[in-house]
Structure 1
Amino acid sequence: MHFTLRQLQVFLATAQFENITRAADSLAMSQSAASSALKELETQYNVRLFDRAGKRLKLNELGRLLRPQAEALLAQAQDMEQAFAKHQKPGDLNIGATLTIGNYIAVGLMAEYMAQNPGAKVNLEVANTQTIVDKVLHFELDMGLIEGELNHSDLDVYEWMDDDLVIFTAPDHPLAQRETVTDEDLLAEQWIVREPGSGTRQAFDRAMHGILPELTIRLELQHTEAIKRAVQEGLGVGCLSEITLQEAFGRKSLVPIAVPHRQWDRKFYFILHRHKYRSAGIERWLDLCRKSIVVGNEK
């Protein structure tokens, strides 16, 4: 074997940052050392792994082909290092979660993981579904917890737990006094919803099949709390996950609106890159997720 693990680290860091200086900084190396390591790797095998455009280094076809193998090899090496040092104790994780899951579920999982594995840390990134998917695909996250349905050849997608969307209004809204709500009622309202690219928006669009193009979307917001506040202030009608609304319903600052003739149920999923090495930490996190299915189905 002629390549070194350090060379692979430089290769992967450069693929992530598309800049040798930023790659070197992330590895606590000098720019010259990182450049030399990458050049030596390419020279040893008489290959080019990047297309160079000024200061940017974009993976070429060969680089994209080798990246998953390099990721898997480094992950196994890191796992072995932890096994030697900590007797196979699960290590740190980089987890991505969509906003609903990140704000209402993932923190509890983080606390449980770190309680079971003293010294281990979980770095949590919260963003919409598309962002989390992209970062898992580029090996920037070990695993993603998402709300949106997904089918991608490079990802393993597992059903996780059930969830329901709920339409809601301010207590003094006319719909709050209605026993039945029709599609005509829905079309007459102004809607405050999540932004395109989010799993909640995907589920909302699916539930509104047939009338979606005719709905009046007044606001598209990234954050659930902003949507709740806007609805509470009387700016329109909202639709979010039930788990994000339970406290507001309990205070009666917002009220649910039953629309049983449309389908509001959906699934949460966890995703991993198909070529990602399943370290002891990832397996432990997966186990926590599977156990949390029971909690999710009891709501």
Structure 2
Amino acid sequence: MHFTLKQLQAFVAIARDNNVSRAAETLSLSQSAVSSSLNELENQLGSPLFDRMGKRLQLNEIGHRILPHAVELLARADELERLVRSGEALGNFKVGATLTIGNHLATLIISDFMRAHPGTRVGLKVANTSQIVEGMRQFDLDIGLIEGDCYDPDLDVLPWRKDELVIFCAPEHPLAKRTDITPEDLAAENWILREPGSGTRAVFDRAVAGKLSRVNILLELEHTEAIKRAVESHLGIGCVSRLALQEAFRRGNLVELPTPWFDLNRHFHFVLHKQRYLTHGVKRFLELCQQS
């Protein structure tokens, strides 16, 4: 059997996009060249790797089994090439981060990493926890940095660092200067919260379950900054990471509300695919995250 890296690249690109034309764009090749590489690989293996449904290709059982190995072989080949060319096998990779991490931690860590390794390029995708987990499952991302929970059997979830959510309001809000706030007071307020599927929302829902008689959700927003602006505009009270509120608290634009009855502590986590090969660059990036 003599399959080539070009054939594996075509197979992996099509598996990610489920479409030959999009895979061709990703690889900067013609559709006929990508289709030919896939056909050659299937002939070498003696088995189709996709179910054909019109122009759409869906991985079949055999394709699902070999995809992790194909991704690993390509990663090792890329690492070998870089080792020969530059003496350093760091390679390029893509990080997926949830919003709080992506906006307040990941960009700083990536900047430090690229300054230390100027030949390396690190991509960053910022989305909610469920989207980052799906990107890891589909081999679209090399590392996931998440705020929420993940229970996928194909993924390893490793603790990273502690974080804390904070309930807050505008400085002119009636609760801002009170020291005797009760759960009943909060149950009477309108809430501006993250959307379902985000790690922040999952922690909030767990923390208030059984402690608030009701939660009047006025808005569900995908971005922390939008929640802060809505709270500043007196639309209600919010709950996001303390990391995202430090500057607003310092300037006095927002005020923390004491809520000792809620457990709003959480952990950030690394997510790694169990079947994905960790290059030297990915390992170094994880070490830098641990040191940050």
Q: TM-score, normalised by structure 1?
A: 0.95
Distance in 1 between the 2:80 and 2:241 partners? 40
Amino acid at match of 2:6: R
1:67 aligned partner: 67
Asked whether the equivalents of residues 170 and 255 of structure 2 are also in contact (C-alpha less than 8 Å), the reply is yes
**Match status 1:110 vs 2:110:** yes
Distance in 2 between the 1:245 and 1:273 partners? 32
1:124 aligned partner: 124
Amino acid at match of 1:124: L
Residue by residue over 1:211-252, the C-alpha shift from the partner in whole angstroms, topping out at 9 and shown as x without a partner, is 467211110001111100100110000000001001111111
Structure 1 stretches lacking a partner, 5+ long = 293-299
Distance in 1 between the 2:286 and 2:238 partners? 32
Distance in 2 between the 1:212 and 1:272 partners? 36
Residue by residue over 1:113-167, the C-alpha shift from the partner in whole angstroms, topping out at 9 and shown as x without a partner, is 0111012121111111111111111111110111002222111111011000000
| 1:89 CA displacement | 4.0
Alignment of 1:166-205 (within 5 A): 166-205=166-205
2:231 aligned partner: 231
1:19 aligned partner: 19
Distance in 1 between the 2:161 and 2:127 partners? 19
**Match status 1:133 vs 2:145:** no
1:145 aligned partner: 145
Asked whether the equivalents of residues 18 and 56 of structure 1 are also in contact (C-alpha less than 8 Å), the reply is yes
Amino acid at match of 1:174: P
Asked whether the equivalents of residues 79 and 89 of structure 2 are also in contact (C-alpha less than 8 Å), the reply is no
| 1:181 CA displacement | 2.1
Asked whether the equivalents of residues 113 and 285 of structure 2 are also in contact (C-alpha less than 8 Å), the reply is yes
2:256 aligned partner: 256
Question: Structure 2 vs 1, CA of residues 96 and 212 (structure 1 numbering), >3 Å: closer, same or farther?
Answer: farther
1:87 aligned partner: 87
| 1:40 CA displacement | 1.2
SS across alignment from 1:35: helix
2:43 aligned partner: 43
Asked whether the equivalents of residues 184 and 213 of structure 2 are also in contact (C-alpha less than 8 Å), the reply is no
| 1:285 CA displacement | 0.3
2:3 aligned partner: 3
Distance in 1 between the 2:119 and 2:41 partners? 35
Distance in 1 between the 2:104 and 2:176 partners? 26
Deviates more, 1:170-179 or 1:210-219: 210-219
Question: Structure 2 vs 1, CA of residues 58 and 212 (structure 1 numbering), >3 Å: closer, same or farther?
Answer: farther
Distance in 2 between the 1:219 and 1:235 partners? 9
Asked whether the equivalents of residues 78 and 91 of structure 2 are also in contact (C-alpha less than 8 Å), the reply is no
| 1:78 CA displacement | 0.9
**Match status 1:288 vs 2:269:** no
SS across alignment from 1:178: coil
Deviates more, 1:13-22 or 1:85-94: 85-94
The alignment of Structure 1 onto Structure 2 pairs a total of residues equal to 292
Amino acid at match of 1:63: G
Amino acid at match of 1:80: L
Amino acid at match of 1:102: G
**Match status 1:244 vs 2:216:** no
Distance in 2 between the 1:200 and 1:50 partners? 37
1:33 aligned partner: 33
2:277 aligned partner: 277
Q: TM-score, normalised by structure 2?
A: 0.97
| 1:72 CA displacement | 1.0
2:76 aligned partner: 76
| 1:84 CA displacement | 0.9
